[in-house]
Structure 1
């Protein structure tokens, strides 16, 4: 609770001297103007605290998302959302907030959490089926009983190296990577978020596909080399794990801690870029790229689980 008190003496100090006033009402008007500015300044501080708390909540959502994926739990839980609504209403009532305002704010937070996880916040309303809120990999198995057998027939990424080189020769792959990277990073590049990294070279290595490329940060632009040489820092991992990282379906800390991803070379540079990308709001990434990354990562994770002998229910 904020308890704001304004001193009358402070307003009198801000008011003009009696000889210069020229108007009997000038002092109250001046005092009211100072008070309004002070109140608005406090409102700005409260708004900033809201944003700080929202940023903290989003980080916790990402961590919960990583835990759910490792445990094989569905992306959304209607029971959990009901608990969030009920708790918010009870707490809002103690603060004398209207039920409508509390409900709208809670719905906004839930929708934001769904967007971070690549889920639709209106899935239940659209389908009327709670199962539609489950992880897309599980729902595929529920709809297609033989999908698991079909996935076993797919070759693992390591066997796709040669065909991939035919389908995506280096010039085409370089053009596609540059176009996608520029679309994802258009806003931070335009805002100068990467200006301090101008001229730095970052590498990506897909170990099972034997692919590697280097991204050089230019003046509000990017240059992609395929195959790239002499990067200062390189992130290295399998195609599936790199997709899971790019789609934010798994937490970067978890992937690096489990050694499914490696950062070699200038680790300080790699961590600096990672932090900048973590701050990039997921909803600002073009929708088609979000859908591609999310579905591609889910499919790759599902296929890997089947090849590892896991049964997907």
Structure 2
């Protein structure tokens, strides 16, 4: 009996060992999978940590202007003279936004329109061009003349302007010269006298579709325009649009007599009729070749000379 009990104990022990070995093997082969609620605080905290540790994206460099699909891609209008376009691109470089328009006044097929932005931009002194044209149109219509006087109103007075006094009357010619010398008060008085609607009418009839004139010149911007609109305006003056030859000549003479020529035309000889500043400028140049040029850019130092040289060589 004792032998039977001993034998049963041995069989039970062996069976237990086999079962234990099988369980060990199953545990070793099993994959550990932790299941928890997706909205748990621990998981959200871990996500934040992972996000914080993620490497930051490198700042993209400005794409080259000849890359397709970028807003600063330089484009030349269809029909533009290839050699002229090449000169403009080389002169303006790759680092700045710009608009450049130039047109041979004796050959409509010889032109170049090159830009990497088409929208209108804030403009300063160059907007006086439209005020001058509107002023001489009023004279052409007989509504204003050399004897016309304008009293400076309090709302005309620009801060810091000491050239003109409130309630004093000044002749139109004097106000025109004061405006060209930088008097915002004179500009404001002329805008009020001529009427903003009349000035806007001149802008539209000159073909300047993207140009808007400010209500006054008290701020840094006197309105918005484009190089294309300015070129159309200068060409319109040359062709007798809006103003007859006599009054168009008066506008051009006023521009020619200005001592503060924009950088665009400095160093150019011949008949130069220009207005603007270092950002926006436009001109008509009469030399070996007659052409109009307009630019919007903060980097146009050598552009005028390069364009002038090209036109001179074309008309040798």
The answer, yes or no, to whether TM exceeds 0.5 is no
Name which structure has the greater RCO, CA cutoff 8 Å, separation 6+: 2
**TM-score normalised by the shorter chain: which range applies?**
under 0.3
Q: Which entry has the higher C-alpha Rg, 1 or 2?
A: 2
TM-score by length of 2: 0.24
More helix by share: 1
- Normalising to structure 1: TM-score of the pair? 0.24
Of Structure 1 and Structure 2, the greater strand share is in 2
